């Protein structure tokens, strides 16, 4: 995500990471731990807490990461995974980048939905 934000800086693209995990059930996801993770990883995008998990529920998030790309009018244009593999060396399709590129080129997003994969959200 850091590289994606860096590559699209200045192109009206803003990533936002939203942590919807229940901090009581997942102590690694408290706000204090998030601040440490933000600093350690050097995130170049906002990293915020969805304390009551209402945003994740409203968007239909099922795991982390689960990506939602919205256009300038806040309409969903893509939802799903970032890439087709967790391992950067095995990525053959960059789904989020493709969707962003299509949106920036005023084209229809060629694939508007993929199946996300990752860790389950701790509800």
The CATH number that applies at residue 73 is 3.40.30.10
Q: Return per-residue pLDDT of the chain as tens, 123 residues.
A: 999 999 999 999 999 999 999 999 999 999 999 999 999 999 999 999 999 999 999 999 999 999 999 999 999 999 999 999 999 999 999 999 999 999 999 999 999 999 999 999 999
Report residue 9 CA to chain centroid gap.
Answer: 16
Question: Is the pTM higher than 0.85?
Answer: yes
Domain that holds residue 95: 2-120
Q: Rounded CA gap, 28 and 1, in Å?
A: 20
Spatial neighbors of 6 by CB under 8 A, at least 6 apart, are 44
Tell me how many domains the chain contains.
1
pLDDT at site 113: 98
The conformation of residue 31, written as its DSSP 8-state character, comes to H
């Amino acid at each position: 995500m850091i590289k994606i934000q860096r590559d699209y800086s200045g192109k009206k693209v803003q990533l936002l990471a939203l942590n919807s995990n229940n901090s009581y059930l997942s102590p690694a996801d408290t706000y204090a731990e998030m601040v440490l993770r933000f600093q350690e990883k050097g995130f170049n995008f906002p990293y915020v807490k969805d304390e009551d998990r209402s945003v994740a529920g409203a968007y239909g998030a099922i795991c982390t990461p689960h990506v939602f790309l919205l256009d300038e009018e806040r309409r969903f244009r893509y939802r799903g995974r970032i890439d087709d593999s967790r391992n950067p060396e095995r990525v053959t399709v960059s789904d989020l980048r493709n969707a962003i590129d299509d949106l920036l080129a005023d084209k229809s997003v060629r694939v508007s939905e993929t199946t996300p994969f990752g860790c389950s959200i701790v509800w």
